[in-house]
Amino acid sequence: MAATGSEKQGGKAFYVTTPIYYVNDAPHLGHAYTTVAGDVLSRWHRQRGEKVWYLTGTDEHGQKIMRTADANGVSPQEWCDRLVEEAWKPLWEHLEIANDDFIRTTQKRHTDRVREFVQDLYDKGEIYKSSYEGPYCVGCEEYKLPGELLDGEGEYAGQQLCPIHRKPVELLQEENYFFKLSEYGDKLLAHYEANPGFIQPESARNEVVNFVRQGLQDLSISRSTFDWGIPIPWDDKHVIYVWIDALLNYATAVGYNENPEKFESTFPADVHLVGKDILRFHAIIWPAMLMANGLPLPGKVAANGWLMVGGEKMSKSNLTGIKPQDLTSHFGVDAYRWYFLRAIAFGQDGSFSWEDFSARYTSELANDYGNLASRVAAMVGKYFGGELPEATAAGEPEQSIHDGLTRAVTEADRRVGDELDFQGGILAVFDFVKQVNGYITEQEPWKVAKDKTEEGQARLATILYTAAESLRAVAVLLNPVMPDTSQQLWDSLGAEPALGPIATQKVQDSGTWGQLPPGSTITKGAVLFPRLEEQPTA
């Protein structure tokens, strides 16, 4: 697993998490979407010069895992080990995910701390024993309220369906242990009001607030009808409810009750990135658990929307689950990372289509960005022997480029780093790319090159330096999104000998003009975004 070594000395790290993903099957585009978003956010904050800790991992307990393993003729642990090592970790490496840790809920560092956390709640009188009967969705691992259920049709006629999985719920009756969640409604509402950015986007916040205002029920936190889970410390006939177990990964992975220094310098998370279907767990149950144990609450819980294919949510159960490798093998990893954050506003549902990806790749990546890099390198090579000339004849056109870059840096940094508006940040950078393309078209360096006077050659040098220096800044700004192609461009510009590795360049300083030294060796490397082959047939 790619590691960044970004744990630094002193001070609080910027702590980003993905959900820990349920390993009942291999990852699909929806899982990768959230993980890439977290990676871009983490890389962006690293390039602000901040300490960063990026956590992802897998959720490996619960009834759904047990049933899936049984159906495949292996033990639950064998099933989890196989999926993690053969599907989940390899995909994150393939997609250049630079996570600092990968937590598995079957690891001892997690299970021991979960037992301690739950024991603390029990000792404080926050947990009691009672019986419960209600509709349960194994897919969600959650009891459902009757008002949430859908009436089945067709093969499910006469049955009640989970609104997310569209499959019949099971009626369960168990004697369980309960957490006094009902006592935290007012405290949660007060926190939401005092911290309006705690739940994002606003539509998701409104949904959670309305749900809490209707009154919370106490939460069943144990199961006694199966044994694939962490045993309750004081009653080993019960295992801890998988969501209580899972949510605690955000604490156990950074040293809760084990490494006080690490815990103090990392916890709580600044941003929990989650799918909107698990928002309530993170925005209601998780903060209530932390309140009950006297721990600080996260900075924000940001819910991304669903990826839609043919109008249906991306998932294995409805057969719209597409492997990320199906796309990366055709478009490349960097283009994959770029596309989903560029095409879909984070927090909203978005539709994916092969045709849309192809069109955006060709128009924005190949024609606008890749072609600009190729043209500039080719002209520096042709007119100045590959040595970056000095700009000595700058005027209003160049000032316009300087101003455009300043705007792009300011807007991209605000949108990506502060607002989680990945689409807006990427568009700000690509608007600048379009401006530079327009500048070259208007200045016509190929015509200016015919003027062999000292003034003509100074003008040509200024145009090409302006274009190359613009690309230097673009490479830095896009490095969190497309690290491989940004490195290629950095190498093509000969930037590293004078400026150092691209990963050390601060995004907020990238707009400072004149960083690329005249005399740098410009080389025309491989095309950043090659022409696409025909779409493969099924």
The torsion region of residue 383 among left (phi > 0), alpha (psi -120 to 50) and beta comes to alpha
**CA nearest to 17, candidates 55, 44, 53, 51:** 55
Q: Is the Cβ–Cβ distance between 196 and 205 less than 8 Å?
A: yes
The token pair that represents 294 in the structure block: 């006297």
By three-state DSSP, how is residue 230 classified?
Answer: coil
Which of 51, 89, 137, 282 is catalytic? The answer is: 137
The token pair that represents 395 in the structure block: 């005027």
Beta bridge partners of 302: 200, 273
Does 80 qualify as catalytic in the annotation? no
The token pair that represents 436 in the structure block: 């530079």
Which of 165, 191, 300, 402 is catalytic? The answer is: 165
Q: Give φ, ψ of 103 to 5 degrees.
A: -95, 140
CA–CA distance, 505 with 46 (Å, rounded to integer): 10
User: Edge-to-edge, what's the strand order for the sheet holding 127-137?
Assistant: 142-143, 127-137, 170-179, 219-220
Which of 51, 282, 313, 330 is catalytic? The answer is: 313
CB contact set of 476 (below 8 Å; sequence gap of 6+): 47, 486, 502, 505, 507, 510
CA geometry: angle at 42 spanning 286 and 5, to 5°?
A: 105
Pairing of strands 312-313, 307-309: antiparallel
CA–CA distance, 83 with 80 (Å, rounded to integer): 5
Which of 89, 140, 272, 330 is catalytic? The answer is: 140
Does 108 qualify as catalytic in the annotation? no
CA–CA distance, 476 with 469 (Å, rounded to integer): 11
Does 110 qualify as catalytic in the annotation? no
CA–CA distance, 258 with 253 (Å, rounded to integer): 10
CA–CA distance, 26 with 127 (Å, rounded to integer): 35
**CA nearest to 328, candidates 100, 484, 98:** 484
Contacts 24+ apart (CB under 8 A), 438-446: 439/397, 439/400, 439/401, 439/463, 439/466, 439/467, 440/372, 440/375, 440/376, 440/467, 442/397, 443/397, 445/379, 445/383, 446/379
Which of 31, 272, 276, 330 is catalytic? The answer is: 31
Q: Is the Cβ–Cβ distance between 6 and 47 less than 8 Å?
A: no
**CA nearest to 507, candidates 395, 414, 371:** 414
The token pair that represents 465 in the structure block: 């330096």
The token pair that represents 482 in the structure block: 């497309």
CA–CA distance, 481 with 337 (Å, rounded to integer): 6
CA–CA distance, 377 with 468 (Å, rounded to integer): 8
Does 452 qualify as catalytic in the annotation? no
Q: SS3 string of 300-339?
A: EEEEECCEEECCEECCCCCCCCCCHHHHHHHHCHHHHHHH
Which of 64, 162, 276, 282 is catalytic? The answer is: 162
Which of 8, 124, 237, 316 is catalytic? The answer is: 316
Does 94 qualify as catalytic in the annotation? no
Q: Which residues are catalytic?
A: 28, 31, 137, 140, 162, 165, 313, 316
